[in-house]
Structure formats: structure tokens, C-alpha cells
Amino acid sequence: MKFTKKDFLWGGATAANQFEGEFNKDGKSLNVAEMVPYVKLQDRASIPLDISAFAKKNLEKSIENKEGLHYPKRIGSNHYNRYKEDIDLLAEAKMDIYRMSISWGRIYPNGDESKPNEKGLEFYHNLLNYCKQKGLKVMVTLHHFDTPYPIGVKYGGWMNKEVINMFVKYAKTLFTEFGNIVDFWLPFNEINVSCFAPMMSATFPEDYPGVSYDQLRFQTLHNQLIAQAEVVQLGHEMLKKKNIGCMIANMTTYPIDCNPVNIIEWQKSEQVSRYFFFDMVAKGEYPTYIIKLFEKLNVRLDTNPEEMNILKNNTVDFLSFSYYMTGTVAKKEEGKTGGNLMAMGKNPFLKANEWGWQIDPQGLRYTLNDLWNRYHLPIFISENGIGHDEKLNDKKTVDDDYRIDYMHQHFIAINDALEDGVDVFGYTMWGVIDLVSAGTSEMSKRYGLVYVDYDDYHNGTGDRFKKKSFNWFKNFKETLEL
Ligand code: BG6
């Protein structure tokens, strides 16, 4: 069969904190991701995110690093020095679009400077111009789990409204510098993650004794939602096209069965773990089910009518989300498996990868239909892919047939959704060139079409090698045949 939509945008995605390396070069500051050491996992499928790794006292130890631990995100895939080679590979695979992130700490290392760091701007000018030279459209994320750590230290992170202003100043700089070459903007990667793990954006419970964890996480999310809405407002004033989207970690679930008790449980779970975030960015107001939840949890947001107006009047132009797996929900839990930042209910009909992430192409079709029916906004799949532990074979490639199958099935699901009438306009495959895992800091959890020769301790040359899936993707792009 042929993929039907000719102008669909196909591409790959990466993030600065997992890909660039050179964490302290040319004036860049540290971020929390770069302060988390690699720790070998005993059982890959058992973990959701290890929250204790983000305790402030542990993170601070990383600055002196007396134990000599390895901090993988400080090296990433050394894209900072090899970006031309990487962009050449994306162009060679016939990609239309590259989703990348800009590191806030390269532009405003402390957040509160009055002028941006010229060296940081220069790097992104070079990179973005090179993308354009190679005919790639670009989608830029402004914040991909990388609030500069100095903002955490001096301002207490995102609980402080001053950080909203710093973020908007940073966005203004990017719109001024790159507004004419960037095609799409995403203010925050997986904005809902701040509500599961506010520490990842340098907001630490230790700094707020007496404040409940629920208060902390929902206030952090709220302040980021306001920052995002202000950036949408600014972008609509400054940029020629209205192309600012959200990016949400989408965790689609199914009820475990048709027992009404389980259906109600599932509906509640979908509201709180999924629709809440899309509702906020697409409808611009707190849904009643969340207001009720806040009452129960005793969460009282620090906000005012002006902020609520900003939210309401600056909703996003398109929806984007990450989609890796689905899970199940039951009133009485019946077994959990791994998942993106959180454990998910097992589904007996689905297979999973080594980390327990359940592979579900049909779920992508379901999710696309669900979001389209609910919001009627254009949709972009900004992350999707499969992690595998891989080694180069003697032909200096990886025969990753499972990845080919994964892409194949998910691309068919997108086509089906288009046939269903969903307005989905693009797809960027996660970690298109191998990079460090966000959740586990493993280099060996590989997602790419291109293998990067580093192990979990960054032994290796860092050289790039095309996997079998690279050729499959290229052929698909040339023929649109599935
Ligand atoms: C998303 C993130 O959560 O999933 C990426 O936006 C991340 O940064 C990706 O890498 C896959 O997760 P992981 O933990 O396998 O790297």
C-alpha cells in the first residue's frame, strides 16, 4: 500500500541535553539532566523513573564528583562537534523535518542575564542554517528537561513567578534570532512531566519545607503553563506564521475489561493523566474534574485572573505528543510493566520491549482519532520509536528488523487515522541518531536509524553507522510504499 498524504512531514527528533554534549563549553551552564549519573539497572523492565536520583544533595555531589561517576548527558552523542555529519545523515535519509531543542543554558546560563550568550547563539545559527542548506524544515523545542541549574539554586526553580519572565525573555531572544528560519515551535517538551517530577526542571521539594508535594508539582506545572501561554502570545505577535504547539507525554490507556467499575476507574485516570494536559493547552482553562481533584488534595494554586486570561486567550496552534506505548487501568491493579516515566498496567494482547514498554500501533490510530475528535486541532506526532540494546555487527551495521516492523506498523496506523479523517500533518521519530536515554541515562537504550559508537560509559569513537532501518526509511520516503 502507499501512504496517502503526499505533503506529510517525516523526520527525526533529538534533544540538546541528551544529544549535544559539551555541557560546559562556550559559557553553557549545567542542568539537572547532566547531574544524574549512570547507574547500571538490575532489571530494565521494572523501573519507572528513579525519583531519588533527583534529590538535591545527590545532584550537588555531581559538581565535585569525588566518586568519579559517569554523567552520560554531559557527553551525549557529541552532536555539538558533529552536527554537520548528523544533519547530512538526516538529509540523506530524505527527511523533511528535524525536531531539535535549544539549550536554555547556552543562551542564558543563569537565566537572569540582560544579554544572551553570543557563543550559544552562534552555535544555533550555524546549526539551523545548515539544516536549511540541506533542505530540512525545523521544529524547535525551547525547553527539553533543561532548566539551567543556577535558576534552581538562586530562584528556587519554577515555583518562582520570576522564572516565567526569564523564560519569556529567552523565547523573545530565540524568536528575534531564529524566527525567520524555524518552521514550528514547541515551548516545552512533555510539559506534563513537571507534574510527575518537578525536580527535572530544577524545582526541588527540599527548597519548600512545609509545602506538600502535590502543591509543589501542580504549581510548577501551572507556572510552566503560564510561561507557555505567554510565549504563544509573544510568538503570535512576533512571528509570521502561527505555528506554536504543545508537546505532551501521552499515556493512552484502555480499561482492563468492560466491568463498569473498571470503566469508571479508567475514565478518571484518562482525565487526570491525559486529558487534563491537552485541555489546558487547547481550551485554556482548568477542567472541573481537576478543580475537584485540587480540593481533595488540598492544592491551592497561586494565581490570579490576569494569568487565567493569558491561559484562555493563548491556546496552541497545533497539538503534539510523544507516543511510545499504551497501558491498561483497573480498579484492582493486575500487574504493572515499565513505561515512559511511570509504570503502566499490563495488556495481555501486547508485546513489550526489554524495558517493558508495550508496543501498540493500533493505539496510535486510536489516540489520533481521540485527540482530533476532542480538540479539532491539527496534530503532529513529535516522538515515537522503540528502544533496543544493540551492537554493531561485523558489517558495521545493525540488523534492526524489529525497528523496521515498529515503524511500518505505526506508519500504517497513521495512514489509517488519515483515512478516518484525522488532521495529522507530521511525524518525527525519537532519537533518530542514537542518544542518551532520558529516563535511564543508558546509551545502550538505542532508538536510532543511526548507531553511535559509545557504550554506557562513553567508551568508543562516537562514530556514526547506518542501521538497516536507515535504508528502510529512506526507501519508504522515496516510494511512500508501506
Ligand atoms: C520522552 C522524552 O519522554 O521519551 C525523551 O521527551 C526521551 O527525552 C524519550 O528520551 C524516550 O524515553 P527514554 O527514557 O527511553 O529515553
Per-position b or e across 97-118, b if 16+ CB within 10 A of its CB: bbbbbbbbbbbbbbbbeeebbe
User: Which position among 20, 230, 383, 390 bears the catalytic label?
Assistant: 383
Per-position b or e across 65-74, b if 16+ CB within 10 A of its CB: eeeeeebbbb
Residue 47's pLDDT band (cuts 50, 70, 90): low
Residue 194's pLDDT band (cuts 50, 70, 90): very high
Q: 439: Cβ below 6 Å to ligand 1?
A: yes
Atom of ligand 1 nearest to the CA of 440: 14
Residue 50 has pLDDT above 90, yes or no: no
Tell me, yes or no, whether 1 lies in a domain. no
**Mean pLDDT for the stretch of residues 80-93:** 98
What's residue 212's pLDDT?
97
Report angle CA 23, 26, 28 to the nearest 5 degrees.
45
277 Cβ contact list (under 8 Å, min separation 6): 191, 192, 195, 246, 248
What's residue 339's pLDDT?
81
Q: Give which of 100, 106, 11, 107 is closest to 385, Cα–Cα.
A: 11
Name the 3-class secondary structure at 212: coil
The verdict on whether 442 is a catalytic residue reads: no
Q: What values do phi and psi take at 329, rounded to 5? A: -130, 135
How many other C-beta atoms lie within 10 A of the C-beta of residue 347? Answer: 20
Q: 469: Cβ below 6 Å to ligand 1?
A: no
CATH of residue 424: 3.20.20.80
CA 356 to chain centre: 19
Atom of ligand 1 nearest to the CA of 193: 3
Q: For atom 9 of ligand 1, which residue has the closest CA?
A: 438
Tell me, yes or no, whether 2 lies in a domain. no
Tell me, yes or no, whether 232 lies in a domain. yes
Name the residue with higher pLDDT: 255 or 343: 255
Tell me, yes or no, whether 471 lies in a domain. yes
Q: Rounded to whole angstroms, how far apart are CA atoms 418 and 422? A: 5
Q: Rounded to whole angstroms, how far apart are CA atoms 256 and 349? A: 11
What's residue 334's pLDDT?
76
In this prediction, what percent of the chain has a pLDDT beyond 90?
Answer: 95
Q: What values do phi and psi take at 255, rounded to 5? A: -70, 145
**Mean pLDDT for the stretch of residues 222-232:** 98
What's residue 341's pLDDT?
77
pTM: 0.98
Which of 246, 321, 322, 406 should be mutated for ligand 1, with most atoms under 8 A from CB? 322
What's residue 184's pLDDT?
98
Tell me, yes or no, whether 146 lies in a domain. yes
Q: How far is the CA of 439 from the centre of ligand 1 (A)?
A: 6
DSSP state string for 121-157? HHHHHHHHHHHHHTT-EEEEEEESS--BHHHHHHH-G
Q: How far is the CA of 387 from the centre of ligand 1 (A)?
A: 10
Tell me, yes or no, whether 291 lies in a domain. yes
408 Cβ contact list (under 8 Å, min separation 6): 472, 482
Residue 462 has pLDDT above 80, yes or no: yes
Domain count for the chain, please give it. Answer: 1
> By residue range, what is the domain housing residue 210?
9-479
**Mean pLDDT for the stretch of residues 330-335:** 87
Tell me, yes or no, whether 152 lies in a domain. yes
Instruction: Specify the DSSP class assigned to residue 433.
Output: B
Q: For atom 2 of ligand 1, which residue has the closest CA?
A: 438
Atom of ligand 1 nearest to the CA of 445: 15
H or E element: which one contains 417? Answer: helix 401-420
Tell me, yes or no, whether 60 lies in a domain. yes
In this prediction, what percent of the chain has a pLDDT beyond 70?
Answer: 99
Q: What values do phi and psi take at 142, rounded to 5? A: -85, -30
What's residue 279's pLDDT?
98
What's residue 430's pLDDT?
98
Give me the chain's average pLDDT, please.
97
